[in-house]
């Protein structure tokens, strides 16, 4: 993600998160792992803020290290509850444990996007961010979500130096946990919507081989 992403995140999110973790530690509550706490950030507000487009929401999702969740599930659950209650800007849902592949891709040999005394923040890959967009589209089919997906796909292509992807390529990308399963036809329709919007903007397809 762009280097200036950190400057675009809501100050209340960052200061509130650091302050909440610091208080949690100061209260001598059992902490599930070493400090600083490493988190991935994602969610609808992230790409919009990163790309300089006014976000619809200032909320982001924070994803926990899957190894930490596996080794200390009860302590992580307690930490989530405390931070979520103290920080209304961040969504600490129980389903938001980072997929192992995404955690490795985002953190392995990578410097944190932003570092505090008690917290380090890393950004999820653009491909994961796109799949989050896709999950929202297939649930709501809102035009604003399609616009966001096009912005994110532009970054995916920019980073990878590719001109387009196939349907199979996109569906191989790691997707976020989805509680309400939607039929495959809805996913294909969502991909068609994104590709059509991209074609209107750029005159070419970004996803080839889509089902009609």
- Average pLDDT over every residue of 59-75: 88
Q: What tokens does 75 get?
A: 């302590």
Q: Choose the final residue of a domain: 61, 92, 124.
A: 124
For residues 118 and 132, membership in a common domain is answered with no
Percentage, residues of the chain above pLDDT 70: 82
For residues 42 and 100, membership in a common domain is answered with yes
Q: How many domains does the chain have?
A: 2
| 3-19 confidence digits (pLDDT tens) | 455 556 667 777 778 88
Instruction: Tell me the whole-structure pTM to 2 decimals.
Output: 0.83
Q: Choose the final residue of a domain: 91, 124, 157.
A: 124
Q: Choose the final residue of a domain: 124, 145, 165.
A: 124
Question: From CA 107, how far away is CA 124, in angstroms rounded?
Answer: 9
**What was the pLDDT predicted at 2?**
47
Q: What tokens does 94 get?
A: 């129980």
Question: Between β-strands 114-115 and 119-123, what pairing exists: parallel, antiparallel or unpaired?
Answer: antiparallel
| The CA-based dihedral angle spanning residues 141, 171, 128, 104, taken in that order and rounded to the nearest 10 degrees | 160
Question: From CA 96, how far away is CA 128, in angstroms rounded?
Answer: 13
For residues 107 and 198, membership in a common domain is answered with no
Q: What tokens does 17 get?
A: 């998160």
For residues 97 and 77, membership in a common domain is answered with yes
Select from 104, 94, 121, 97 the least CA-distant residue to 8.
121
For residues 16 and 109, membership in a common domain is answered with yes
For residues 13 and 105, membership in a common domain is answered with yes
| 86-121 confidence digits (pLDDT tens) | 777 777 766 678 889 999 999 988 888 888 899 998
For residues 105 and 175, membership in a common domain is answered with no
For residues 79 and 57, membership in a common domain is answered with yes
The string of DSSP codes covering 98-128 is: PPHHHHHHHHTT---SEE-SSEEEEEPPHHH
For residues 21 and 83, membership in a common domain is answered with yes
- Highest average pLDDT, of 39-48, 128-137, 158-167, comes from 158-167
- Average pLDDT over every residue of 188-199: 95
| 40-57 confidence digits (pLDDT tens) | 888 766 665 666 655 556
Domain of residue 192 covers 127-208
């Amino acid at each position: 993600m762009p280097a200036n992403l950190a400057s675009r995140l809501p100050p209340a999110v960052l200061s509130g998160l650091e302050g909440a973790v610091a208080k949690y530690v100061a209260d001598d509550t059992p902490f599930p792992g070493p400090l600083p706490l490493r988190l991935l950030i994602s969610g609808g507000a992230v790409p919009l803020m990163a790309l300089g487009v006014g976000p619809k929401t200032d909320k982001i999702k924070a994803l926990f290290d899957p190894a930490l969740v596996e080794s200390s599930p009860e302590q992580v659950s307690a930490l989530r509850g405390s931070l979520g209650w103290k920080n209304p800007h961040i969504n600490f849902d129980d389903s938001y444990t980072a997929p192992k592949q995404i955690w490795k891709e985002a953190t392995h040999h990578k410097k944190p996007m932003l570092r505090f005394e008690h917290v380090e923040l890393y950004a999820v890959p653009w491909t994961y961010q796109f799949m989050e967009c896709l999950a929202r589209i297939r649930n709501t089919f809102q035009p604003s979500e399609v616009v966001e997906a096009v912005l994110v796909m532009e970054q995916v292509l920019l980073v990878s130096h590719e001109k387009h992807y196939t349907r199979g390529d996109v569906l191989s990308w790691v997707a976020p946990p989805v509680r309400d399963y939607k039929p495959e036809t809805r996913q294909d329709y969502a991909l068609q919507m994104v590709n059509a919007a991209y074609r209107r903007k750029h005159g070419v397809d970004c996803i080839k081989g889509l089902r009609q």
